[in-house]
Amino acid sequence: MPKMFAQVILPLSLHDAYTYEVPLNMQPAIQPGQRVVVQFGPKKFYAALVVSVSDEKPEGFQAKEIVQLLDESPVVLPQNLGLWRWMASYYCCSLGDIFRAALPPGLKLESKSKIFLTGNDDEQQVSEKEQLIINQLQDISTVEILQKKLGSRFSYPALQKLLNNNVVQVEEKISSKYKPKTEIFVKLHPEVGTEKQLHEKITSLERAKKQKALLLHFSEKTNAFGEKSQKEISKKELFKGTDFNSAHLNELHKKKILKKFEQPVSRILESEQKQVDINLLNKFQEIALAEVKSIFSKKDVALIHGITASGKTEIYIHLIDEALKSGEQVLYLVPEIALTTQIVQRLKNVFGPKVGIYHSRLNNQERVEIWEKVLQFRQNRDKGYQVILGARSSLFMPFSNLGLVIVDEEHENSFKQFDPAPRYNARDMAVVLGIQNKAKVLLGSATPSFESYFNAKTGKYGLVNLDKRHSNIELPEVMIIDLKRVWKRKQMHSVLSHELFELMNTAISKGEQVILFQNRRGYSPYVQCFNCGWIPKCQNCDVSLTYHKYKKRLNCHYCGFSQPVSNECPECGSPDIKTRGFGTEKIEDELKPLFPGARIDRMDLDTTRSKNAFSRIVHNLESRKTDILIGTQMVTKGLDFEHVSVVGILNADNLINFPDFRAHERAYQLISQVSGRAGRKHNRGKVIVQTSQPEHPLIEIIRKQDYQEAFQSQMEERKLFKYPPFYRLIKLVVKHKNPENVNRFANQLATNLRHNSSLIVLGPEFPLVSRIQLWYQKEIWLKVSRKFSPGEVKNFIINNIDTVKHLKDNSSCVVNIDVDPG
Ligand SMILES: Nc1ncnc2c1ncn2[C@@H]1O[C@H](COP(=O)(O)OP(=O)(O)OP(=O)(O)O)[C@@H](O)[C@H]1O
Ligand SMILES: [Zn+2]
C-alpha cells in the first residue's frame, strides 16, 4: 500500500496544520474530522484534528506516525471547518486557536490534562483496557502520568470511552471552581432488577423495620415495577413528610438494595416539560414575520429592530417552527447565560426535546453529550438536537443541516470574546456561518448595534421594524434627575434621589417590582485613607482594588488578586480608612433599612458564580419573591418580567463619559434596554435616570428614546474620525514584564506599520490600565480601509510583528491582535 499522510490541527497557536504519517492499520478508517493522538515535541501528546488525508509525502522533513485514532466517526464535519478558516484569517490567529475555542474540553485531551474518577463506575461494563485505567486512577492524575505507568497497555480510545461514559472526568480550568449544584437521588440498585428480587430484599429486611418501611415507601413513591414507574427520586422528595433519615438510607445503600447518587439538578427540569402550542402572533408581529420571510427570499441576513417587549422572541419561534418542519437545524445565539434560562423555557415549551442548550457553565460531560446529540441529528433526526440555544461557543457546534441562525440582542458586547484568541465577535461570525451554510440569519434587537443598523440602512441586510409592544402599552416614561440639584438640597436617600425613592415605595406597596442598575459590582469601587489620600492598588495591575464587604477583602477585578483590608493606612498610619463610591453589594446593604420588609436581591458576577444562580434569581423575580433587584449590566439583557414597573439607573455619568468611541452607543443601548424591563405587561412603566450632567445631549436623546437620533449623530462623528462602520479597527497590544521592552517593541512596530500610507496608525500609548498581572502593555490602534481584504491585512500585520520580533532582545514580547475590538 502507498504511504498516507494526514494534515492535522493541534491545539497550539503556532501554525495552521501539521503533517503526520498514517500507519497502515489506520488507513482504512481515517477520515477528516476525526481526532487522532499525535506526538509533538519530544514528550508531549495531543488529541489533534484531521483536516485532510493524502498520499503526498511532505518535503523537507520526516513525518512522525500518528499514535492512535480516537474517534470511529468524525466529531467535526467538513462543512464546519469553513468557519474555522474564515475566522483564522479574519481575526489574525491560528487554526489551533480556533480548535481550542471550538471543541468542548472533554474532546481536547492532551498530556497535561488532569483526569480523575467520578465514582460512577460500579454499574458500567468496562473493557480490560478501561479497567486498567480505572485501577491506576485512584488519585487525580494526568494523561501523561497514566501513560507512563501503563506503558504500551495504555489506550487512548479506552480513556475516551471512560470520559464519554462519565466514569472519568477531565478537569477544566475555567469552571472547575464552580461546582454544579447537585442533589442526592435514590434508585434501586442494579442488582435489584426484577420485582421478584425486590420482594426478596423486602423479606430480607424483616429485622430492620425502619429500613423495610423506607424500601416500601420508595417502591410506592416510584411505583417501582408498576406502569409508568419512575426510576429515580430525589432524597428530598423521598423523605418529605416522613421521619426517615439518612442513616436508614445509608444502610440500604450499603446492602446494595437502594443506590444513592448525585446529579445536577438542572437535568431533571428537562423531563418535567409540558409541550404547549405556539402563540398566535399579533397583527404587527404577523406583518414583521412576513417581511422577514420576504427578505429571506432575496437576502441572507435580516435585522429586526423591534422595541423592548414587542415580542421578537415570538417571531423567532415561528421561524424556528418552520425551519424544523423542513428538517433544518437552528442555532439561537444569546449573549448571556442569564438569558438562556428564560428563553430555554419558552423554546422547550413548544419544541420539547428537540432543543439543546449549550454554554460554558455546563460540565464537561454535559457539553460532550450535547455535541454528540447535534452530530447525531445527521443520522437520526428524531434523536439528535435540532435547535441549539446557547452562548457564543455554540457557533462551533457540528451542525450538518443548518437552516436558520438567530442572534438575539445582537448589539450585546458579550458576543465578543476578549481573551484568549480567537478574539471573535459571535454575532459577526453567525453571519459568516449562515452564509457558508446557505442558512438564513436573523439579527434582532431593540437597540441594534450601529454596525448592523448601518448594514441594514445601506441595503446589505434587510430591515424590519416593529414598534408596538405586544401589550400595546407605551414604552416607559423616562425622567431625568439632576444629581447635583438633589445633593444640594440634601434630598438623597443613600444612592436614591427623592423621586426614585418615592416611586419605589409606591411600586412596592402595590406589589410591583423594581430593578436598579449600577455598573459596578462589589461593595465600593475603592477605599481611601481620608487623612493622606492613599488608595490601595493591586500589586500586579495598575488599578485600585475593589472592596468586597461580604468577604472583608479587597479584590482586583483584573487578575483576581485579593488582600484583607488593613485597619490603618500603610502610608501615614491613620485609622481613617473609608470606602468610596457605590458597588452593587453596598447598595444592597444601604437599601435594607430604607425599605424594611422588602425582599432585595442582587444579580452580578459575584452572586451568579454557581451554575444555577441565574435561574434562581430570575425565578424569584418571576414568582414575585423579590421586590427589588439590584444588578450590573446583567439585568439589562432581554429578561422578561411581568410585574416590574420601576427601573432606576443610579448613575449615568460614568456610562456617558467612558473614553471609547462607542461610549454613546453603549450608554444609549444599556439605558434603553434596562428601561425596557419596565411596564411590559400591565401598566406603563417609569424609569429614573440619575445624572449630574442633565444637559448632556445624549441624555436628552435617552429621555426621548430616539434611537434614530442616537444613530445619526454618531454616524456623522464616526465618518469624520474614520471609525467603524466606515473603517475597520484593529488593536495591537504589546506586552512584556519589563516596561522598557514594551516601549521599544511598540515604537518600532508602530514606525514600521506607518510605512504603509494607506493605514492610519495611532499610538503606541499606554491604555487606561497599563499593567495587568505584572505585564505592562501598550496599544497601537490601526484604522484600516474596507478596501483591504482580511487576508491581506493579516499578512501585513503578522509580517511586521515577525520582523520586529527578530530584532535584538525583542523575541520575548507578546503581541495580541484584536480585530474589531469591543
Ligand atoms: N403573540 C404573542 N402572544 C402571546 N404573548 C406574547 C406575544 N408576543 C409577545 N408576547 C409576550 O410579551 C412579552 C414580551 O415579549 P418578548 O420577550 O418576546 O419581547 P422582546 O421583543 O424579545 O423584548 P426585549 O427586546 O425586551 O427582549 C413576553 O412575555 C411574551 O410572552
Ligand atoms: Zn490585579
CB atoms under 10 Å from CB of 129, counted, come to 17
Ligand 2 center to 93 CA (angstroms): 26
Which pLDDT value is given to residue 390?
92
Q: Residue whose CA is closest, atom 3 of ligand 1?
A: 279
Tell which residue, 788, 821, 717, 707, has the closest CA to residue 453.
707
- The domains located in the chain, with CATH, are 4-107 (3.40.1440.60), 114-170 (no CATH), 182-264 (no CATH), 283-466 (3.40.50.300), 477-521+583-715 (3.40.50.300), 525-580 (no CATH), 727-819 (3.30.70.600)
Cis peptide before 11 (omega within 30 of 0): no
Q: Roughly how many angstroms between the first and final C-alpha of the chain, as a whole number?
A: 53
Which of 468, 475, 640, 642 best tests ligand 1's pocket when mutated (most atoms within 8 Å of CB)?
640
| CA of 540, nearest ligand number | 2
Which pLDDT value is given to residue 29?
92
Atom of ligand 1 nearest to the CA of 446: 25
* Entry pTM: 0.79
Rounded Cα distance between 556 and 561, Å, is: 5
Rounded Cα distance between 780 and 762, Å, is: 6
Beta strands in 650-805 (DSSP E): 686-691, 727-736, 759-765, 771-772, 775-785
Instruction: Give 818's contacts (C-beta < 8 A, 6+ positions apart).
Output: 418, 423, 730, 731, 732, 733
Q: Does the annotation flag 92 for ligand binding?
A: no
Model confidence over 587-636: pLDDT tens digits?
898 899 999 989 999 988 878 877 778 888 888 988 999 999 999 888 77
ipTM of the complex: 0.96
Helix H or strand E encompassing 102: helix 95-102
Which pLDDT value is given to residue 524?
67
Instruction: Give 58's contacts (C-beta < 8 A, 6+ positions apart).
Output: 5, 19
Question: In b/e form, how buried is each residue of 78-113, taking b as 16+ CB within 10 angstroms?
Answer: ebbbebbebbbbbbbbbbbbbbbbbbbbbbbbbbeb
DSSP string, 512-571: -EEEEE-S--SSBSEEEETTT----B-SSSSSBPEEETTTTEEE-TTT--EEEPPSS-TT
Query: Does the beta carbon of 470 lie inside 6 Å of ligand 1?
Result: yes
Residues of the chain with pLDDT under 70: 43, 109-112, 119-124, 138-140, 171-182, 264-274, 338-339, 522-525, 638
CB atoms under 10 Å from CB of 456, counted, come to 21
Which pLDDT value is given to residue 689?
94
Q: Are 518 and 587 in contact (CB under 8 A)?
A: yes
Instruction: Give 366's contacts (C-beta < 8 A, 6+ positions apart).
Output: 264, 267
Atom of ligand 1 nearest to the CA of 281: 1
Which pLDDT value is given to residue 403?
97
| CA of 563, nearest ligand number | 2
CB under 5 Å of ion ligand 2: residues: 538, 540-541, 556, 558-559, 561
Q: Does the annotation flag 541 for ligand binding?
A: yes
Q: Does the annotation flag 813 for ligand binding?
A: no
Quick one: CA dihedral 206, 209, 210, 215, positive or negative?
A: positive
Atom of ligand 1 nearest to the CA of 638: 27
Q: Residue whose CA is closest, atom 9 of ligand 1?
A: 311
Beta strands in 590-678 (DSSP E): 600-603, 628-631, 644-649
Query: Does the beta carbon of 335 lie inside 6 Å of ligand 1?
Result: no
CA angle 418, 421, 422 (to 5 degrees): 90
Which of 303, 312, 313, 409 best tests ligand 1's pocket when mutated (most atoms within 8 Å of CB)?
313
Query: Does the beta carbon of 282 lie inside 6 Å of ligand 1?
Result: yes
